[in-house]
Amino acid sequence: MPKGDWLTTCALPIWRLANDVLNDVKRVVAGMSLPQGYSISCRGQNEEQEESKSFLGRAFFAALFLIALILVTEFNSIAKPLVVLTSVILSLIGVLLGLMITRTPFGVIMTGMGVISLAGVVVHNAVVLVDYVLQLRARGLDKRESILEAGQVRFRPVLLTAITTILGLMPMAVGVSFNFRELRWDVGSESSQWWGPMAVAVIFGLAVATVLTLVVVPSMLSWLDKAEDFIRKTLRVRYTTVQTTSPSSQAST
């Protein structure tokens, strides 16, 4: 519209999501030919949603960076923190599956907060497992035996952490709350609809992350050990070859 003139419209069917309506409006507007000097922009809730999406995206990557920095300092290695962070990234599969199975809308704010909080729990479980593997190796256990022993010993703590967290968030996910003023149970209250996407994200993400911690993390540690052994053997063979073909060895022969 001309500079200084604004026309605000507000219409939202109560049976549809705001994002669905906005996408329909954008498709209709894209085929319109506007007079010179006129423009159409989506503001209000759309602007707030975009700002929240940008902020939570930066917060998630900042959290991953700080976690990686702490893990590198703790393990004095780069490869092992990558194993832990891989479980965090793969746990997003559970979040997306949970939203699709429950048909829960992807709320930028609450789902994003659920993903960020999920990263902390997943990292804790993975660190507990990897740290115990390193402790067993420091005691003299073989690489393969240390992974198997750590998986058996840490199975119960990791599983109990996941189960207690999932059970604690279950009422929030299904929309059950207790009204302390009227002393009665409420189902489908406004607060449960607000917190529901976060609970669903954490529950399904943690369920998948638990399997990743107990299966994928030990497998990646075993693969990492094999890769390190292969690199060491390759470098050792090359070093031995260089020594045998050096001028001093040729002069002695």
Domains of the chain in sequence order: 52-247 (1.20.1640.10)
Query: In this structure, what token pair is assigned to residue 100?
Result: 């699709």
Residue reference for tokens 């022993």: 149
β-sheet bridge partners, residue 186? 177
Is 70 exceeded by the pLDDT of residue 97? yes
Q: Return the pLDDT at 170.
A: 85
Is 60 exceeded by the pLDDT of residue 6? no
3 state DSSP class of 140: coil
Q: Of 47-56, 122-131, 154-163, 219-228, give the lowest mean pLDDT range.
A: 47-56
Q: Which residues have a Cβ under 8 Å from the Cβ of 209 and sit 6 or more positions away?
A: 87, 88, 90, 91, 94, 118, 121, 122, 125, 162
Please give the single-letter amino acid code of residue 137.
R
* 186 secondary structure, DSSP code: E
Query: 0.75 cut: is pTM over it?
Result: no
Q: What number is the average pLDDT over the span 216-234? A: 83
Residue reference for tokens 């960020």: 116
Long-range contacts of 191-197 (CB under 8 A, 24+ apart): 194/110, 195/110, 196/104, 196/110, 196/172, 197/99, 197/104, 197/105, 197/106, 197/107, 197/110, 197/111, 197/114
Query: In this structure, what token pair is assigned to residue 211?
Result: 């399997």
Q: Return the pLDDT at 204.
A: 92
Q: What number is the average pLDDT over the span 229-233? A: 79
Is 70 exceeded by the pLDDT of residue 241? no
Name the CA radius of gyration of the chain, rounded: 27
